[in-house]
Amino acid sequence: MWLIFGVKCMSDKVLKGILEKNAGEPEFHQAVTEVYHSLKPVFEAHPEFVESKMFERIAEPERQIMFRVPWVDDNGVVQVNRGFRFEFNSALGPYKGGLRFHPSVYQGILKFLGFEQIFKNSLTGLMMGGGKGGADFDPKGKSDNEVMRFCQSFMSELYRHVGPDTDVPAGDIGVGGREIGYMFGQYKKLTNSFVRVLTGKGLDWGGSLVRTEATGYGLLYFVEEMLKTKNESMKGKVAVSSGSGNVSIYASQKVEQLGGKVVAVSDSGGYVYDEKGIDVKVVKQIKEVERGRISEYAKRVKGAEYHEKGNIWEVECDVALPNATQNELDEKSALKLVKNGCLAVGEGANMPCTPEAVKVFHKNDVLFGPGKAANAGGVAVSGLEMAQNSQFQSWTFEETDKKLQGIMANIHKASWDASKEYSKEGNLVDGANIAGFLKVARAMQAQGIV
Ligand code: NDP
C-alpha cells in the first residue's frame, strides 16, 4: 500500500504476493491479473477497499475441498480420480458454480473458474456467491454405468459440503443432464431429502425450462446488445462458434433464430465448415444423443467439409463465438479475425481469448464481450431454477426466456456504465470486472472481516 496525494492506493506488490502464493497455477494468475488491472481506478476512488485488504481477501477461497474419488470400471478394475470444490465467496449468497469433469482439471483451472464466478454471479443481480468444482475424470468413451458409478462416488464425499443454503453446484464441461441426474440421486439417497441442491436438473424433477439453452441464448442476447451500440444486429451475419457442446449448440440455434448463420463448429479433433449454415439438429444428434465426434457431420451433410486439427478462427466471419475452452483463441487467431473483418467477439466459454488476443480486439475496435458477462446466462437461469424450486413453481419457457433477456441486457448496461465511469467507455472487460466487484466488495465491507 502506498500514498498519493494523501490517498491510500494499492501497490503491485499485492498482485505479486497473490501470484507467488498460488505458484504453478497459470490460469488463476491470468484471471487474477486481469481483474486486478481493471480494478486499479476503483481502488484509487475507494481507499477503504485497500485498507480492508479487499482484493487479497477476494482472491483467497473461503474454503477448498479436495478428495479421493474411487470407482470400478466395466472390466472390474479400480480407478482413482481426484475431486475438488472451491467455495470462493459467499458475500452475496450460497456458493454457486459448475462442476467440470475433464482430464485437464486441477486446482489452478478450478480456482480461475471459481474466482471469475464471483464477479459473474454478482453481475446477474441474483443473490449467489461464487464457487467451482469438478474432477480430473474424462467422461469421453465411458459407458453410462461407469459415469453413474463415478458420479455416485464423487457425490458420496461432496454431499457433506453442499446444500440449498450453502453451496449449489451445476454443470460445466463434461457435466450435463445425465451427470447431474446421477449426482442428485446419490445426494437424495445419502441425505434422505429431496432438496434444491443442484441446478440443471431434469424438467420432470425440479429443472427449469431454458436452463439447457441459457448460456448459448444469453450469449447471443448479450452480443445483440453489443451490436446495437454500433447500430448493427445479428440479422444476416455470419458467425463461427467453436466447440459443439452445450454452449455452442444453443448459441448456434439462437444465431439462426436471430436471422444469422453459423458456418463452422468444432470439437477438440477439428472443425466442420458448412457454407449453407450448420444444421443444429445434426450436431445435436451427434453430440447429445450419440456422444460422437464432430467429424461425423461432414459424412452426413452434403457439401460440408471437415478440417482435422484445423484452426476454426481462420474461417471468415462477422461474429466470433469462442464456446469451447480457456485460451483457445490466441493473438495470431485474433489478428486473422480482424483481417477477415470480424465485427464482434462474444466469449461463451470462460476466458477463451488470451490476454494478447483481447488486446488485438480492443486495439482494432472489435466489440468484445468477456465471458464473465457474456456467458452469465447459464448461471442466471440456474438462479431462476433455485427461485422456482423454493416457490414450488415452474415458469413457462417464454416467461423464463424473457427474464434471461432482461438479465443479459442489464449486465451489458451495468458493464458499459462502469466502463464509462472508471475506464474507457465500451471496454467491457474493465466494465464487467468493476461492476461485478463493486457489489461483492460492498457486501463484504458491510459483513465485516470474516
Ligand atoms: P461441453 O462439455 O458441453 O462442450 C465443450 C465443447 O468444447 C466440446 O465440443 C469439446 O470437444 C470442445 N472442446 C474442448 N476443448 C477443445 C479444444 N481445445 N478445441 C476445440 N474444442 C474443444 O461444455 P460446455 O459447452 O458446457 O462448456 C463450454 C465452455 O463454456 C466452458 O468454458 C465452460 O466453462 C463455459 N460455460 C458453460 C456454461 C454452461 O452452462 N454449460 C455456463 C458458462 C460458461 P471434445 O468433446 O472433443 O472435448
| CA–centroid distance, residue 56 to ligand 1 (Å) | 30
Superfamily of domain 214-374: NAD(P)-binding Rossmann-like Domain (3.40.50.720)
Q: Distance between CA atoms of 117 and 120, rounded to whole angstroms?
A: 5
Mean pLDDT of the chain: 96
User: What is the CATH topology of the domain spanning 63-195?
Assistant: Rossmann fold (3.40.50)
| Closest ligand 1 atom number to CA of residue 214 | 40
Among 115, 108, 125, CA closest to 36:
115
132 is an active site residue: yes
pLDDT at residue 9 in the model? 55
Q: CA quadruple 292, 294, 297, 298: dihedral positive or negative?
A: negative
| CA–centroid distance, residue 172 to ligand 1 (Å) | 8
Q: For residue range 81-113, what is the model confidence (pLDDT) as tens digits?
A: 999 999 999 999 999 999 999 999 999 999 999
Per DSSP, the three-state class of 98 is strand
Q: For residue range 373-395, what is the model confidence (pLDDT) as tens digits?
A: 999 999 999 999 999 999 999 99
Q: Is 244 in the pocket of ligand 1 (CB under 6 A)?
A: yes
Kindly report the protein residue whose alpha carbon is nearest to atom 35 of ligand 1.
349
pLDDT at residue 79 in the model? 98
Domain boundaries, the chain: 2-59, 63-195, 214-374
Per annotation, catalytic residue among 111, 132, 142, 237: 132
φ/ψ (deg, to 5) at 88: -80, -50
Q: For residue range 348-367, what is the model confidence (pLDDT) as tens digits?
A: 999 999 999 999 999 999 99
Kindly report the protein residue whose alpha carbon is nearest to atom 47 of ligand 1.
268
**Is the per-residue pLDDT at 4 higher than 80?**
no
Q: Is 333 in the pocket of ligand 1 (CB under 6 A)?
A: no
| CA–centroid distance, residue 267 to ligand 1 (Å) | 8
Q: Are 267 and 244 a contacting pair, CB within 8 Å?
A: yes
| Closest ligand 1 atom number to CA of residue 348 | 30
Kindly report the protein residue whose alpha carbon is nearest to atom 36 of ligand 1.
349
Q: Is 382 in the pocket of ligand 1 (CB under 6 A)?
A: no
Fold equal for 63-195 and 214-374: yes
Q: Distance between CA atoms of 186 and 166, rounded to whole angstroms?
A: 18
